[in-house]
Structure 1
């Protein structure tokens, strides 16, 4: 441990006071932002009411522009920006009043509100939006916006009027590729396509890029030992990814990068999908009639994907992990595979899903597995002593006064340098749970 090692008691007390003050300041800013949203929503309603009085055929469009121009002029902001803010404010205030109230009370930030509204914007019924808000708000108060996004999408699916598969079938007709020009002779290539394909493409590019970097490092070390000349490849992984994409699109093969043994061409894309077994068991008719029976699959525990894609991939893959969950709580109990290998790593990936530092959303497969109690001092290599930490927070654990303790059920408790405690609970897996009723309890013998 090196960070803050030389801090005095007075400096640590100052740090504690700063953290408290910043917490209050953040809550105040959230409240003021909610107040601004309320005023913008009132301004939007006022413009519409004025338009209705004159029965304008543009349905208030010009009135909205006029009011937005007035507000924009005094704030020195574009009237188009004000119109967008007014629309977003009306959506929050009118359709998600509980979320707006929570932000006004400083319990959540504007970023949390945006995530909740974005995920729930497809919920049509006011009563369902109210139920959605009631479920997601306690989660929002305990999670960062980046973590909340995946959870909000999952919760919103419970109340959506259509299934993700139905929406995906419509959305696929909007897939496209386009270019935007940048500065200094650069441009950006964008694609809007099914998430499983996009993530798969990015993963394959990443594997290729890292393989090239590793091969370059090996060649550099070998040249240093032999004393031979060597021209290093100093490109970053991002640069190599971009160059590989150009190679693959323009020539169909990584022509300018392929190694002598053809390793790059042999690299396959990898994605991780979790899908409840009940979803695999039901057909489209069941899905349409019983949404609870066919929960959507999830890509990397973050993005819902359509059931058709999940079923096809489950049927075509050579092997898949079975995640056993508790039927009532949904907690991960075990992970097995028809051809077992690296059992514990798979179990922990399924349990943790992302880095276990509060607010961090790095997916578990990109994280290190860390012993809570070091193996060098007798710590066991087991589920109750291991957790997934991204490299940044792995280093933080070992080189700062932050202290980590794992509690039962995979709960990880972090204690900060100022003595505050932050609890991170494993996210609920994408699984089906059941409610036990009195009638379902077997009678004693």
Structure 2
């Protein structure tokens, strides 16, 4: 009887496991289908914005321009305003909204079989993104290539994990367009770039998109130098650490010969005096530890220092790189904003326009609390669409979308 009870309990356990796995499969299919439905909804909003631009623009743009705005421009303004509206409501970046619609349009037009399986929930969002990315890179108008790619990837997209599927799909894509490899490489090489991404604990990522031969040679150089240093007596750094240090020394000139530029660091007064260990804020990055902040404030010639109240965070004093007051005002606003002040926009303030919230032509003054940084796209949206911005006496900024949604301001950077 005990034996029968054991098998009975195990049988019930097997049923529970099978049931749980089935539930997980069902829920994952639902997640996949819901993600696809989100792409459809985003595409529908943007299509409506293009078809009926008056919803997002109306006659608003003409009041801020002396020249007539062509209908195509109204459509462009409407699309940008709608993308911003969706981004704020969905708590996504505008680039994500654009990429979601681009993914939907690409899959609908180039991989309809895969798209339908995605709508049914059979394909994960990660695999669907891979399909859209690779399908978008196929030769424009080559319907035979579209159909061949669509038919070949659909089965594997439903059963392979993302990394494995991506490797398979890339290989398939290369086989389909093998006869244009040289031209495609030249086109892709024109997109080479370097990107910077702040991380936590005083760290950041730098990524470079390079031709494969250049990247391979660079890694070989890093490896060789790191290996040489690892053989030095007393060296305790790991190979990854050595590669990172060699890379940093190479691109900065090991402390010499670097391009001169000034970066701001906001330091609470008590932190500077050594009485607290409250973090400071490095311009373009974010929080840094107190010790690093004091070092930068003391001996880094490329840093300009901004003292802040330890309780309220209000700016108490700022280094003046020039004697001109407008420059100091610009520096102060730049350090207050850190980025474009549109909700969710991460464009650095130093690369944005410094805009009068109330335009000078309407009586706006050039004061700290009537200025804010806007990237070029959001600057245009402010003037050419129904997006509106307000700023109170304390500098608190609010944006209202064309559909009436009031976006709460992002948290202050310090």
TM-score range, shorter chain: 0.3 to 0.5
**TM-score normalised to the size of structure 1?**
0.43
Structure number, greater radius of gyration: 2
